[in-house]
Amino acid sequence: MWQASSMSHSLETRGLYLAIYVLTILTGFPTNLLALYALIQKLKTKATPNTILLLNLTLSDLCFLAFLPFKISEDVSGHWSLPNYLCPLSGLFYFSSIYSTTLFLTALSVERYLGVAYPVRYRLKRHLPYVVVASFGLWVCSFAHCSIVYITEFYPGNYSLINNSCYKNFTKDQLAILLPVRLELGIVLFLVPSLITCFCYFGFMRIVITSAHIRRSKKQRAVGLVAATLAVFIICFSPYNVSHVYGFIQGDSPDWREEALLPSTFNASFDPFIFYFSSSAVQHSCWSFLTRIEQLFTLPPFIRKLFCPRTQKMGRTRSPELVSCSKL
């Protein structure tokens, strides 16, 4: 006996899904590629643990965006029309990218907290090889946990592949394996990282805000960093992981699971704000890019205020020199 998926959406719902997917790709790809370029340039000059973690986070977002067209194809056709072997492959990368994001965001929060709470001891003990090994371990952790996609899709008697759907319809035997694993995913790869991130960033904020020697601009950057990170955890990842708990309690895959998964799509658009507040290299790339855009178009006032808060005017000037934004 199988449970029918709720993915047989109305045309209006499918249209909403497609609009969100396309918007995420249009905003996520350029901003993440810009961040990737900036971080690679930074690595060439001076590699730091923060840069390596941000680079991995960027790669996670780009991986997510690369496999998002598979979801678009499925929604356009109303069923899984691609080769069957692409179903578990796309699912593996799609879900692994989501959870690798939570892990790298947590690693960034730990790195930030240790840097301000124990500046001397941490500076002496932080070594790039450790960060590289830790990053590799986080990738392995997320992919190993999300390999459940392969297990369920190739489980004997899988109803999904028979009925041209991908990772949506499950038999009771499949749910007996899947629901406990989903609960474990929600606890190990979301709840625990969320608690660690909150602890580290609240401690980070307390130290930074109460420090008299830290400039106001850096305090504003710290607030922006924490706000962007918590927004990703709360808005993007909470609904989907709550569905894991609900499904385990009910003994079935929730009908609203696909709707709960939808906000996680925005993650690829929110993360560039974290890159901006975390890395001066990304900031300089943004300023350079916006300056060139300003030479062709007039930027909206809120864009100028957000990225160039100290610049009185970013319009065209008679001087051939580029107009640059002041540092945050």
pLDDT of 290-312, one tens digit each?
Answer: 566 555 556 566 555 555 554 44
Higher-pLDDT residue of 294 and 123 is 123
> CA 128 to CA 124: how far, in whole Å?
12
Residue 164 confidence (pLDDT): 66
Q: Which of 15-19, 248-252, 273-277 has the lowest mean pLDDT?
A: 273-277
- The CATH number of 2-278 is which of 1.10.286.10, 3.40.50.1950, 1.20.1070.10, 3.30.70.1350? 1.20.1070.10
Grouping H, G, I as helix, E, B as strand and the rest as coil, residue 2 is strand
Residue 188 confidence (pLDDT): 93
Residue 323 confidence (pLDDT): 35
Higher-pLDDT residue of 74 and 155 is 74
H or E stretch at 171: strand 170-171
Q: Which of 193, 31, 191 is nearest to 105 (CA)?
A: 193
Grouping H, G, I as helix, E, B as strand and the rest as coil, residue 256 is coil
Alpha carbon separation from 153 to 55, 140, 228, 280, 309 (Å, rounded): 31, 20, 35, 43, 51
Q: Rounded mean pLDDT of 23-41?
A: 87
Grouping H, G, I as helix, E, B as strand and the rest as coil, residue 166 is coil
Domain with CATH 1.20.1070.10 in the chain: 2-278
Q: Which of 296, 307, 240, 245 is nearest to 267 (CA)?
A: 240
Mean pLDDT of the chain: 79
Higher-pLDDT residue of 284 and 231 is 231
Q: Which of 81, 119, 46 is nearest to 38 (CA)?
A: 46
| Structure-token match 């879900």, residue found | 95
Question: How would residue 114 be classed by pLDDT, with cut points 50, 70 and 90?
Answer: very high
- The angle subtended at Cα 21 by Cα 230 and Cα 302, nearest 5°, is 55
> CA 143 to CA 138: how far, in whole Å?
9
Given a contact cutoff of 8 angstroms between Cβ atoms, the answer to whether 189 and 101 are in contact is no
Is 0.85 topped by the overall pTM? no
> CA 11 to CA 210: how far, in whole Å?
53
Amino acid found at 287:
W
Question: How would residue 276 be classed by pLDDT, with cut points 50, 70 and 90?
Answer: low
pLDDT for 43-84, tens place per residue?
888 888 888 999 999 999 999 999 999 888 888 877 778 887
Q: Which of 73-82, 237-246, 263-272, 296-305 has the lowest mean pLDDT?
A: 296-305
Residues sharing a CB contact under 8 Å with residue 217, sequence separation 6 or more, in sequence order? 327, 328
Does the pLDDT of residue 158 top 60, yes or no?
no
Residue 1 confidence (pLDDT): 35
